[in-house]
Chain A
Amino acid sequence: MTALADLCVIELANDRSAFAGKLLADMGADVILVEPPEGDATRTYEPFLEDEPGAERSLYFWHYNTSKRGITLDLETDAGRDALRRLVATADVFLESEEPGRLDTLGIDALTLRAGHPELISISMAPFMRGGPREHEQATDLTLLAGGGPAWSSGYDDHSLPPVRGGGNQGYQTGCHYAVMTALVALVSRDLTGAGQHIDVDMHAAQNVTTEAGSYSWLVAEQTVERQTGRHAGVTPSPPSQVLCSDGRYVNTGVPARRGRDYSTVLEWLRELDLLDQFPVVALLEIGAEQDRIDLSNIATDPVVREMFMAARNAITLIASSISAQDFFDGAQQRGFQVGIIYSPEEVMEDRHFKARGFPTEVDHPDLGRSFTYPGAPYLFHGSPWEIQRRAPLLSEHTDAVLEESGFTSDEVAQLKAQGVV
């Protein structure tokens, strides 16, 4: 049995909140995506199947709407709004991220929907605080990440290059993570008390508390971190950590050697690769190998510690630049060093570890007579597995079924269709 099998969610389609619905749906919730009759805007988002646009061909829509059922409702009509009220009346969760004020004007805002239904958990996601001073500012994933802190910390040592927004919609997704975490808090609370409640998510605030030292260096000590290539923004600069390997790919050389046996391991690896004569300060590594531990807390004040530290780092850099990224990653990890290969996203899907754990996931598209490989589970539940229940819904695919389950007669459904409401 899936973890959320007993949960029914009504989600108003919106690119800001789509990922929250997916996270619930892939854990078994019956998430009903409500689109306008012409379809949600994300159906026009790139990329498209075989690069050909079409309402049923957006891979963006496919990804963010797995496991959901789909209906259409024209919420600009009385009949459409009535239908929504009836659907929500039997649902557990209502999820929306409409433009601030739109649902209030239509009389179907979360607080109104809750009126006769105190068990409902309603979630409003907004770029800025609902009713707050910046409520009506426009935002996209880019501007959320740029204004909320992440971009300030990300980029290059060369500050003539702009701060960088991390790719992949992480600003929206961070807001969605908080929406889901909090919906689950409300659900666990409801399991005990029977009472639902309303949740506001401020997506700008969500970025602000997802910046690690960016925020707390200021909060605690009024210090400002500065961005650095491929590593943590810091109050003080740190040495480079990314190295170009012999095959043109990069690795992150991670945590430096600090124990004597790390130094022995580095020496032995240089020897195996026949690189000893290319390394100018082998003697420093030999001294390191005789120590128990190098106390890096003295690095700023003790020149010997600094030389030892740099020798190990330079040796690792020489090794990394002499072999392929994969060989360095496996070789260093198997020798006990925390390093990483910098995979492009698609390389993860081909990696043996991710395959062995079942990460690439086949999803059947019966209408196309094909199946496609999707990214898989973010967590392995042993008792209530994550699972893509079905591919994203075709436009209005489940309208009849969902309305009938909610008690609409076939005459009522026919009338809604005739009026163009669904």
Chain B
Amino acid sequence: MREHDGTALGHLRICDFTGQLAGAGATKFLAAFGAQVIRIEDPTNEGRWDILRGGQPFKDERRGINLGGSFNNHNVEKLGITLNLRKERGKELLHELIKISDVVSENFAAGVFERLGLSYPELQTLKDDIIYVSNCGFGHSGPYVNYKTWGPIVQAVSGLTFSSGLPGQPSAGWGYSYMDHTGAYYMAMAILMALHHRTVTGDGQWVDMSCTEAGASLNGPALLDYTINGRPLRREGSPNSNRSQFPAMAPHGIYKTEGEDNWIAIASRNEDDWAAICEVAGTTWANDPRFATLAARVENEDDLDQRITDWTRHQERFELAAKLQAANVPATAVQRPGERVDHDSDTEAWGLWPTVHQTEMGDVRVDGMPVHLSKTDWHVENGAPCLGEHNEYVFGDLLGISESELVSLREEGVL
């Protein structure tokens, strides 16, 4: 166990093979709370680095393998080492590192880790209470075990792409890898629960995470409506995910406002909200029997939405949202990235966008954490590691390799 340093997870060491976001997001969260996350990468390009490592966006248009903006975002506060696992000495050094780690994490395709000789039984021979969490698209068993995924594929197969869309259109899906973020959240939970279980029982374990299963578990009420009531989401006029099915609400949608590609979201939770909306709009909709009750509004929702749009299209979205909020109605401008990052009093007061220092990029802002703890809060100040940036510390200080051996390991292409 590492010496306790006052952070929440400073006593823990994670031998980390994760990449991209679905894996890297998990260990980023743990690193922000002090866990020592040691990210292992191949020293040569043949080993195929994390695809994000040199990818966009770029700060000041500077490009390079240590300059990827998303890689930096997902790997703050981690240590980075290089290790060639095609060489025997590389494997030996990995084994030494696993022996002093609490957790081994990876999000390779199923089978890759076994082929490296790192199945759970083999990991246990190195450290009997090791925790191993794997995260891949379809898990390590079942008919699709060899099928490959990335975020959009996970979302497609798990039902999340389909459940995002408008009638008469193909699926809109998620305009980003929602399940890379969320897969990482489940991976972080799995690691932490396995750690607690180890504290209570003394036992490590393997957690086999399938990102599509995590995704499929996120459509609960719609799934029960099918398994219990026999009502599929794939039916005429469905889905319309800007409307509210569970629970029923109307009006409930994203409506056009003044200006190019400007929108407002409005939700009427109950009759008070509906009366307030009518008052802010200065209309007599409330007296129209077609809109007098929730059931009537749901029945006539296309017509209702048309009237709302005829009103909102001439309104400025932030002003209108403020007027509705003043009447206690849930409403918000659909915010552009620059608006919610630089002009949102909530994210600013929270300190949501901390600046980290990355060795080659310099100072860059990253996604912070949407939580604050009263005693052991998160803290990020170091950006993602450059390739092999922490070789001296990890191999020298942690594993006790002499300086002269480090030199020869480099020459032999082990590091």
Task: State whether A230 and B224 are in contact (beta carbons under 8 Å apart), knowing that A146-B334, A202-B346 are contacts in the complex.
Answer: no
Of B12, B223, B347, the residue contacting A204 (CB under 8 A) is B347
User: Is B265 touching A224 in the complex (CB atoms < 8 A)?
Assistant: no
Determine if A348 and B156 form an interchain contact, defined as CB atoms under 8 angstroms apart.
no
> B33 → chain A, closest Cβ, in Å?
5
Contact of A47 with B224 at beta-carbon distance under 8 Å, contacts A148-B340, A250-B171, A344-B163 already known: yes
B328 at the A/B interface (Cβ < 8 Å)? yes
Residues of B within 8 A of A302 (CB): none
Min CB distance A247 to B, Å, is: 12
Please encode chain A, from 37 to 71, with 1 for each CB lying within 8 Å of some chain B CB and 0 for all others: 00000101111011100000001101110000000
The smallest beta-carbon distance between B289 and chain A, in angstroms, is 23
- Whether B340 lies near A378 (C-beta < 8 A) is no
Which residues does chain B contribute within 8 Å of A375, judged by CB atoms?
Answer: 216-217, 219-220, 223
Whether B176 and A185, one on each chain, are in contact in the complex, defined by CB atoms closer than 8 angstroms, is: no
B224 near A219 (CB under 8 angstroms)?
A: no
Identify which of A164, A198, A348 contacts B165 (C-beta below 8 A).
A164
**What are the residues of chain A within 8 A of B192 when measuring CB–CB?**
181, 184-185, 187-188
Q: Which of these, B139, B173, B367, contacts A154 with CB under 8 Å? A: B173
**Smallest CB–CB gap between B119 and chain A, Å?**
12
Chain B interface residue bracket vs A: 35 or more
Task: Given A181-B192, A185-B192, verify A213-B330 contact (CB < 8 Å).
Answer: no
| A166 / chain B contacts, CB cutoff of 8 Å | 160, 163-164, 172-174, 178, 241
Q: Which of B30, B182, B248 has the most CB of A within 10 A?
A: B182
Question: Contact at B338–A23, with CB atoms within 8 Å?
Answer: no
Residues of chain B within 8 A (CB-CB) of A223 are: 57
- Which residues does chain A contribute within 8 Å of B261, judged by CB atoms? 159
8 Å CB interface, B20-34 against A: 21, 29-30, 33
Chain B 137-180: CB-based contact to A (< 8 A → 1; otherwise 0): 01101111011111011111111111111100111111111101
Instruction: Name A200's closest neighbour in chain B (CB-CB).
Output: B372
B410 in the interface (beta carbon within 8 A): no
A323 sits at the interface (CB 8 A): no
Q: Is the CB of B228 within 8 A of A49?
A: yes
Q: Say if the beta carbon of A76 comes within 8 Å of chain B.
A: no
CA separation between A210 and B8, bound complex, in Å?
Answer: 23
Residues of B within 8 A of A163 (CB): 254, 263, 334
Within 8 A of B (CB), among A2-43: 3-6, 23, 27, 42
Q: Decide: A338 and B148 in contact? CB cutoff 8 A.
A: yes
Partner of A383, one of B204, B253, B340, B374: B204
Does chain B have a CB within 8 A of A415?
A: no
Of A129-137, A312-320, A393-401, which binds chain B? A129-137
Q: Are A345 and B219 in contact (CB under 8 A)?
A: yes
CB distance from A156 to the nearest CB of B (A): 6
What's the nearest-Cβ distance from chain B to residue A28, in Å? 9
Beyond A188-B192, A189-B376, whether A343 also contacts B366 by CB under 8 A is no
Is A212 a contact of B189 with CB atoms below 8 Å? no
Considering only CB atoms, which chain B residue lies closest to A333 in the complex?
B147
- A side interface size, CB within 8 A: 152
Give the distance to chain A from B174, nearest Cβ to Cβ, in Å.
5
- Check if A173 sits within 8 Å of B218, measured CB to CB: yes
User: Is the beta-carbon distance between A372 and B224 smaller than 8 angstroms?
Assistant: yes
Q: Is the CB of A360 within 8 A of B227?
A: yes
B185 to A181, Cβ gap below 8 A?
Answer: yes
Establish whether residues A134 and B196, one from each chain, have CB atoms under 8 Å apart when the complex forms: no
Residue of A nearest to B70 (CB): A216
Interface membership of B252, Cβ < 8 A: yes
- Is B53 located at the chain interface by the 8 A CB criterion? no
Among the 9-residue stretches A263-271, A284-292, A350-358, the one with 4 or more Cβ atoms under 8 Å from chain B is A350-358
Q: Is A203 an interface residue (CB 8 A)?
A: yes
B369 on the interface (CB 8 Å rule)? Answer: yes
Q: Does B333 contact A (CB under 8 A)?
A: yes
- Bound complex: CA A353 to CA B224 (Å): 19
Known contacts A188-B192, A232-B177, A353-B143: A138-B247 contact under CB 8 Å? no
Contacting B at CB under 8 A, from A218-257, are 218-225, 227-233, 235, 241-242, 244, 250-252, 254-255
Does B79 reach chain A (CB closer than 8 Å)?
no
Contact status of A354 and B227, CB under 8 A, knowing A149-B340, A154-B164, A165-B265: no
Option from B188, B208, B231, B346 in Cβ contact (under 8 Å) with A205: B346
CA distance in complex: A199, B371 (Å):
7
Contact with B along A162-187 (1 / 0, CB 8 A): 11111111100111011111101111
Q: Which of B349-357, B391-399, B401-409 has 4 or more CB atoms under 8 Å from chain A?
A: B349-357
Known contacts: A138-B325, A151-B265, A182-B373. The answer to whether A252 contacts B153 by CB under 8 A is yes
Interface check B315, CB cutoff 8 A: no
- Residues on A with C-beta less than 8 A from B144 are 333, 353
Shortest Cβ distance from B280 into chain A, in angstroms? 13
Q: How far is A376 from B253 in the complex, measured between Cα atoms in Å?
A: 30
For B131, the closest partner residue in chain A by CB is A383
CA distance A175 to B192 in the complex (A): 18
- CB contacts (< 8 Å) of B171 on chain A: these are 230, 242, 250, 342
Interface residues of A in 366-381 (CB under 8 A from B): 372-381
A322 interface residue per 8 A CB criterion:
no
CB of B220 within 8 A of CB of A164, answer no
Docked complex: B336-351 residues within 8 A CB-CB of A: 336-338, 340-342, 345-347, 349-350
Closest 5 CB pairs of A and B: A383-B205, A340-B156, A153-B175, A205-B370, A146-B265
What are 5 contact pairs spanning A and B, CB under 8 A?
A167-B239, A232-B177, A340-B156, A349-B223, A379-B209
- Beyond the given A63-B224, A156-B172, please list 16 additional residue pairs across the A-B interface where CB-CB is below 8 A: A4-B193, A46-B221, A49-B228, A59-B224, A152-B335, A156-B169, A168-B220, A170-B160, A202-B371, A209-B369, A212-B177, A216-B367, A220-B364, A230-B170, A340-B155, A348-B223
